[in-house]
Structure 1
Amino acid sequence: MKKMMPWLITILLAVTLIVVAAFLLMDKIFPSDANDVKAAVQNVETNRMSADQIVELTAQITDIKTNLADPDYILSVDIAFQLDTAKSKEEFEKIKAIKITPLIIKAIADTKPEDLNGASGKDQISSKLVNIINKNLTEGSITQIEFTKFIMASI
């Protein structure tokens, strides 16, 4: 038994070190979506504007209806997009039907109904949409997304 004791201690120490290393590296290997959402929210900036400026820089997409990740639920939304410049709004208007709407439908199709409950759920999907759409804009960027209509219903 005395001859096996150093081996047992060495094996237990090695297993413990491997478990601790795996635990510490888990967040880097498998990043969580919560970190992405927090980063997206921090990157979005809003400035004070007059009502006329807001109207001038806001584009709308209305009547988007799609299933959620759970096929028993459907979502109907109208979305207002505030862009950073008038030029970017013009570009957005040109591509919203052929490029932006499909991106929104894909993002919503990956979302579970329970992820959209409450204000935090809507904030998360807004942040996700800002990131996805800004990558696909030809000019400028979206500074804010607001849901002007949000109806989620079971089929």
Structure 2
Amino acid sequence: MKKMLPWLITIMLSITLIVLAVFLLSDKLLGSNDKGVSAAPTHTPVLTADQIVEVSSEINQVTTNLADPDYIAKMSFSFQLNDKKAKEDFDKIKEIKIKPIIIKTLGDTKPENFKDSKVTEQFTSKLLEQINNTLPNGKVIQIEITDKIVSSL
């Protein structure tokens, strides 16, 4: 037994060192999830009510069919932009560029998607991306659905 003791200590020490090395190098071996661009929305600074009104715009009463032709949606939206100049540009093109984007996006959406708030957030994220690609200056920071009616015909 005394002859095996050094061997047992060596094996236990080796196993401990291997486990410690794997633990310390696991980020490099397995890859880190912190790399790349985050899908989370950008952090918006805290604004006063007057500042929010200065950079916000609305599109009211958008009515269109959904992906299922038996359903119709009537919605109103509120858009918060990053600055006053972006809001001015947004207001100039909202009826000729932004509203058609909303109608197309609603036309591709199934009615059951509006029953779940998580899927509704995915819808607004998709809308946010498409609208930001259209804006000449500035960007939309946040989109809120202010009124929503989804009904069958």
Class of the TM-score when normalised by the shorter of the 2 chains: 0.7 to 0.9
| Percentage of identical aligned residues | 45
Q: Counterpart of 1:132 in structure 2: which amino acid?
A: Q
In structure 1, C-alpha distance between the alignment counterparts of 2:132 and 2:117, rounded to whole Å:
22
**What residue in structure 1 maps to residue 34 of structure 2?**
none
CA 40–150 in structure 1, closer or farther in 2 if over 3 Å, else same = farther
- Verify the 8 A CA contact 1:40 1:127 in the aligned structure 2: no
Residue identity in the other structure for 2:101: L
SS in 1 for 2:40: helix
After TM superposition, list the pairs within 5 Å mapping 1:1-155 onto structure 2.
41-155=39-153
- Structure 2: how far apart are the matches of 1:91 and 1:40? 28
In structure 1, how many angstroms separate the alpha carbons of the residues matched to 2:125 and 2:80?
13
Deviation at 1:118, TM superposition (A): 2.2
Deviation (angstroms), 1:119: 1.2
Cα displacement (A) at 1:117:
1.3
Letter in 1 for 2:139: S
Shift of the alpha carbon at 1:121?
A: 2.1
How many residue pairs were aligned?
117
In the other structure, the counterpart of 1:36 is none
TM-score (norm 1): 0.72
Deviations, residues 73-115 of structure 1 (Å, cap 9, x unaligned) = 0000000000000000000000000000000000110011112
| 5+ long unaligned stretches in structure 2 | 1-36
Q: AA paired with 1:154?
A: S
Structure in which a larger fraction of residues adopt helix? 1
Q: What is the alpha-carbon root mean square deviation over aligned residues? A: 1.4
Q: Distance in 1 between matches of 2:96 and 2:40?
A: 29
Native 8 Å contact 1:40 1:128 kept in 2? no
Unaligned runs of 5+ in 1: 1-38
Larger radius of gyration: 2
The 10-residue stretch of structure 1 (104-113 or 45-54) with the greater mean CA deviation from structure 2? 45-54
